[in-house]
Amino acid sequence: MIRVAITDDHAMVLRGIETMLKASNEVIVVGTFANCKNTSEGIINCKPHVLLLDINLPDCNGIEYCKILKKEFPDLHVIALTNFNETAFVKNIIRNGAKGYLLKNTDKNELEIAIKRVYRGEQYLQKSIQKKLLDESFGITSRNSFIPKLTRRELEVLQLIVDELTTNEIAKKLFISTKTVETHRSHLIQKLEVRNTAGLVKIAIEKGLLK
């Protein structure tokens, strides 16, 4: 039996995935967690073979957290399970040790197939993600023409970064925590495929992302 744990901060998502896998004869859910801290503590006790990991978590960046997990638990197989379909996210979390990438619109059959393949040491990418990566490799979507999909909040944070506000100032202006600001900044860096804040400003202006 393949032991699976799930990390997602939305209770409905956790329950939904649990329900999807309940009828499986080969997979059993042994733990569910709402954040990174609980995940690190819980894995020690429930000892999963596979972890379904959301990228957007309240206390950390799931992409960076994947690297930490692989160092702490080398035998753990990680599958990203997220709403983000940007190829930058896919590449970075795979680079950090994940073996699979699924969107939350996946069905029961694909979810179970992905878990089994990753458990066997193989890699699994959802078909729509595979196509996007393939198109990109053939230059169908070039870096210059690609305009990433940013959320309203990400655009607000990006504008304030360009306006040279500090993390504390952004947090106060938007009535959010500094940790949330840093999470948005990290997501922007991933989506815009840059290395730092200076790169964010440069490419935001180049792509006309600001009003």
Q: Domain limits of the chain?
A: 2-137, 152-206
Q: What is the mean pLDDT of residues 5-14?
A: 93
**Residue 76: predicted pLDDT:** 98
pLDDT at 60: 86
Share of the chain above pLDDT 90, in %: 63
CATH 1.10.10.10 matches 152-206: yes
Task: Write down the pLDDT at residue 146.
Answer: 58
DSSP three-state, residue 28: strand
**Which residues have a Cβ under 8 Å from the Cβ of 70 and sit 6 or more positions away?**
76, 78, 96, 97
Question: Which residue stretches of the chain are H helix?
Answer: 11-22, 36-46, 62-72, 87-95, 108-119, 127-137, 152-162, 167-174, 178-191, 197-206
Mean pLDDT to the nearest integer, 92-118:
95
- pLDDT, residue 150, reads 86
Q: Which of the four CATH numbers 3.40.50.720, 3.40.50.2300, 3.40.140.10, 3.40.50.970 does domain 2-137 have? A: 3.40.50.2300
Question: Mean pLDDT across the stretch 64-90?
Answer: 93
Residue 127, helix vs strand vs coil: helix
Q: What pLDDT score was predicted for residue 57?
A: 87
Mean pLDDT of 183-203: 85
Binned at pLDDT 50, 70 and 90, residue 207 comes out as confident
- Which residue has better confidence, 208 or 110? 110
pLDDT in the model for residue 144: 47
User: What's the pLDDT at 178?
Assistant: 93
Q: Which has the minimum average pLDDT: 123-137, 157-171, 189-203?
A: 189-203
Distance CA 58, CA 151 (A): 16
Q: Give tens-digit pLDDT for 153-187.
A: 999 999 999 888 999 999 999 999 999 999 999 99
Q: What's residue 87's pLDDT?
A: 86
Predicted confidence band at 80 (pLDDT cuts at 50, 70, 90)? Answer: very high
Q: What is the DSSP letter of 149?
A: -
Please determine, for residue 142, whether its predicted confidence score (pLDDT) is greater than 60: no
DSSP-derived secondary structure letter, 18? H
Instruction: Tell me what pLDDT residue 110 has.
Output: 95
